[in-house]
Amino acid sequence: MSQTPAAQKPSKPPRKLPRWVYLVLFVVVVALPFMRQLTQRSGADKEALATLTEMGAEPINRPLRDEELDMPVQTHDGKTTTLRALMATGDTVILHFWASWCGPCMEELPEIGKLAQALRGRRVQVVSVSHDDEWADADAALVKTNGKAQPDAGVWLREIEGQSGDESKMLRVRLGTLQLPETYILVDGQALVRLIASQPWSNPRLMRALERLAPLR
């Protein structure tokens, strides 16, 4: 006598995970490349900082203040811009202060132009701020040292107060610069280091440190 097969219970559909689990997984997948990039950038910053310090740079490593970020400086066409605007793209900023009446500045100025040219294509802006009272004086110096009043590479600006104006409205004074030339390296809203006096910008070791802070676009 044949037996009737036992009835099978219908299988339960697999239980769905809560929505928040999918949300967490999505965030992790999306954020992981950025976290990896941030970790790599942090390591590069530390390595570059160590090299720069060994070469005589003064470590600062502090956040830029609003009065520094928002201090206006003049463009060649008479308009103004700020550090905040220059740093909005997330680029590293090499901020150089100079003047035509400063002998060491004039000797260094061609190297600043070459530096801006050498770093083209990287996430960096070489920003040079003149402390001349008039653009005509700065232009004459740039023509003499770089061949034209506004070189093709770099960002060339002028302190609105010039040499003898209100120091409280001067970006270099706000940052703490009392002599020229001086250069700051600004990364991710931080003043990383200050380089006092002229620098050997073509030095391969110094260039490698700057390239670590300025990855290719």
The domain tally of the chain equals: 1
Residue 36: band (very low, low, confident or very high) from pLDDT cuts 50, 70, 90: very low
| CA-to-CA dists, residue 156 to 74, 98, 181, angstroms | 9, 11, 15
The answer to whether position 10 is within a domain reads no
Helix (H, G, I), strand (E, B) or coil at 122: strand
Residue 1 lies in a domain: no
Instruction: State the chain's mean pLDDT as an integer.
Output: 87
pLDDT at 4 over 90: no
Tokens found for residue 143 = 């023509």
Q: Is residue 150 part of a domain?
A: yes
Domain-located, residue 148? yes
Dist. CA 41–CA 157, nearest whole Å:
29
pLDDT of 1 strictly over 60: no
Condensed to tens digits (0 to 9), the pLDDT of residues 160-171 reads 999 989 999 999
Is residue 181 in a domain? yes
Domain carrying residue 45 = 19-213
Q: CATH number of the domain at 97, please.
A: 3.40.30.10
> Do residues 207 and 111 touch, judged by C-beta distance below 8 A?
no
Instruction: Please state whether the predicted TM-score (pTM) of the whole model is above 0.85.
Output: no
pLDDT tens track for 99-149 = 999 999 999 999 999 999 999 999 999 999 999 999 999 999 999 999 999
Evaluate whether residue 56 is within a structural domain.
yes
pLDDT in tens, 55-87: 999 999 999 999 999 999 999 999 999 999 999
pLDDT band at 181 (very low <50, low <70, confident <90, very high): very high
